[in-house]
Structure formats: C-alpha cells, structure tokens
Structure 1
Amino acid sequence: MIKIKVRRAYNVDVARIAEIEKGAFPPEEVLSADRLRWCFRAFPEGFAVAEAAGGGGAVEAGEIVAAMVCRPTALRRITNEIYETKELPKGDTFAIMTFIVEPGLQRQKLGERTIAAALELFRRNGVKNFSLACKDHLIKFYGRHGFKLAGESELKLGGALWYDMYLGR
C-alpha cells in the first residue's frame, strides 16, 4: 500500500495536478493547466495534494499521486460559475472543483485516504462547509465521507448529468 502525506499545494505542484487531471477525465471535463494556474493564483488556500511517502514501490517518495482543488464561495450548489474566472460571492463554503487520483493508482484506496485527509486539512484551517458535483457512480463514495445528496446539479460540464452533494452545516 502506498503511504501518503496530504499537504497544501505549492505553485510548482500545479503542473503535476494538471497532468493528473488530464489523464483522469475526458477532454471536455478537464480543468486545463491554464485554468488551474489561474485558480492557484486566485485561491491557493483551496489546493491540497497527496504525495507518496513511501511503501508503494510503484511511485517514488514525494511524487504527487492525488489532488483536490476547492474554490472559496458562498454558493452551496455547483454551477458553471464555479469554473469561470469571474469573482464569486465570498462565503464559508469550499466548492470542490476537482478531486483526482493518478489513474494508474486508482482502486488502491488512495481516494478514500486522500479525501479524508484533505477535508481534515481544510477543516483545521477553518473551512466548515464543502460542496461538489459528481456523476451518479460516485455518490456512494462521497456519501461515505459525510456528503449528502442535494439533487441534480445545474452544472453543464461536458454534457454529463451531475449531482450536487454537500457536507457541513
């Protein structure tokens, strides 16, 4: 089992996050490297990465294997606005824009361990509420981490059907 350490991301990590993002999603759903760089400049506090800490053989210690990108906002539901570069209402919610695990390392509980540690990292820094949009096959995954289904999302990313989920008060 790959041991991980979840930490805040650094600017230098954005290229690796973009690489994982590109491999994890269909092209029409990918956050581009340019958009991720813009996000990091605008809200670096919303980036967390999981880096290998040893014990996995398949990856070297220090290699980023998963990431979460969140946008601070007052919006409790996910809309296309979350993914745009315009200013959003300030608030107490982190909208999860992407949560990714290196595709070749999926199905090894990295997602389970990363999301738990990333949410805890953000909570320690005062974040109380989280929202996200996911496809139906991920509803149970996020539900195991306390997210509640809020219904069909207004998100129109890639033409897919998305579901909003919420964690918090």
Structure 2
Amino acid sequence: MQSVIIRQANISDIDTVTELEKSCFPVSEAADRKAFELRLRNYPECFRLLEIDGKVISMINGMTTNENDLCDEMYSGTDMYAAHGKWLMLFGVATAPAYQKRGFASRLMERVIEDTKKQERRGIVLTCKEELIPFYSRFGFVSEGISDSEHGGAEWYQMRLTLE
C-alpha cells in the first residue's frame, strides 16, 4: 500500500518542484528555479506537495492577495502578496506525467480548498487552458471567460471558486 502525504513545500524542495514543473509545462509557461525560490522564500504556506512513498508527484502553488484577479505580475514578484489576503491565486497545478489521470491532482486540490476555507478566505482564483475548464468546474470553479494574461503566449481562462 502506498503512503500518501500532503505537506507544505519548503526551500529544500526547490530542485524537485523545478523539475516537476519542467515535466508538465512548455518552456514558455513553466516557472523557473528563480520563480520557485521567490515563492518558497516569501510564501511557502501557499505551496502544497503530494508525495507517494516519499516522492513528490504533484504540486499546487500560488500566493494570497487582496487583488480580485490573477495577473501576470504576480508570477514573478511579491508586491501584491498579502499574508491574510482574501484570495488565493493559484499559479500552477502539476502532476508528474507518469501519475496523471489517477486522482492525485484532485486529491491535492481538495486539500487546498479545505485549507483555504479554514483560513476564511473569500476563495481561489486560477487561470487554465480551455480544455481544463471541466476539470476545475468539478470543484465548483466558475469560468469568468478569457483572462488578460499573456503568460507564455497562451490563451488563458480565469476561473473562480467563491467560498463565502
């Protein structure tokens, strides 16, 4: 039987999360080591990992803010971070390719939603590609249409889960 653990990430996970990101996203969209270092040093509480038998196979990361919409500037800076912000902005949901479509990202997302409720935040905002809208809709996220994001040159849809 596999041992599954969900935990907060820390700076010692930087190589692991950088490699996981590279395996899941095109180069133009993937966060680099520098971006992960910034996130892990400034708001590690917004970064969750799912491990199986000690191996990180899935992650969700972002930051909390009082801004209502996710914007590209959030990916590389800390100016909009607010420890007690009313929204959790998700920057990435990733599962190692060999473990995809087995429910691990869903399990991790359920935990992040549960934690966000306990923190009494208004909700969670993320952007995704059109084909992932049904996946996030299963958790109660609602599409707000095409985002202003130009991240990686892709077309993104903003989705919001309101918890109040």
Normalization by structure 2: what TM-score?
0.90
What is the RMSD computed on CA atoms of the aligned residues?
Answer: 1.7
Tell me, yes or no, if the aligned pair for 1:134 and 1:163 is still in contact at 8 Å.
yes
Q: Are 1:137 and 2:125 matched, yes or no? A: no
Q: Are 1:120 and 2:114 matched, yes or no? A: yes
Inter-CA distance 164–3: structure 2 relative to 1 (3 Å threshold): farther
Q: How does 1:1-169 map to 2 (within 5 A)?
A: 4-52=4-52, 61-88=53-80, 90=82, 91-168=85-162, 169=164
* Separation of aligned partners in 2, 1:11 and 1:127: 25
Question: How many residue pairs align between the two structures?
Answer: 161
* 3-state SS of paired residue (1:28): coil
**Identity percentage of aligned residues:** 27
Inter-CA distance 116–38: structure 2 relative to 1 (3 Å threshold): same
Tell me, yes or no, if the aligned pair for 2:86 and 2:122 is still in contact at 8 Å.
yes
Query: Match of 2:27, as an amino acid?
Result: P
Deviation beyond 6 Å, 4+ runs, structure 1: none
Tell me, yes or no, if the aligned pair for 1:72 and 1:95 is still in contact at 8 Å.
yes
1:58-115 Cα distance to aligned partner (Å, 9 max, x none) = xxx1111101111111122221121121401633111001111011211111111121
* Separation of aligned partners in 1, 2:55 and 2:43: 23
Comparing 123-132 with 9-18, greater Cα deviation is found at 123-132
Stretches of structure 1 lacking an aligned partner (at least 5 in a row): 53-60
* 3-state SS of paired residue (2:140): coil
Normalization by structure 1: what TM-score?
0.88
Stretches of structure 2 lacking an aligned partner (at least 5 in a row): none
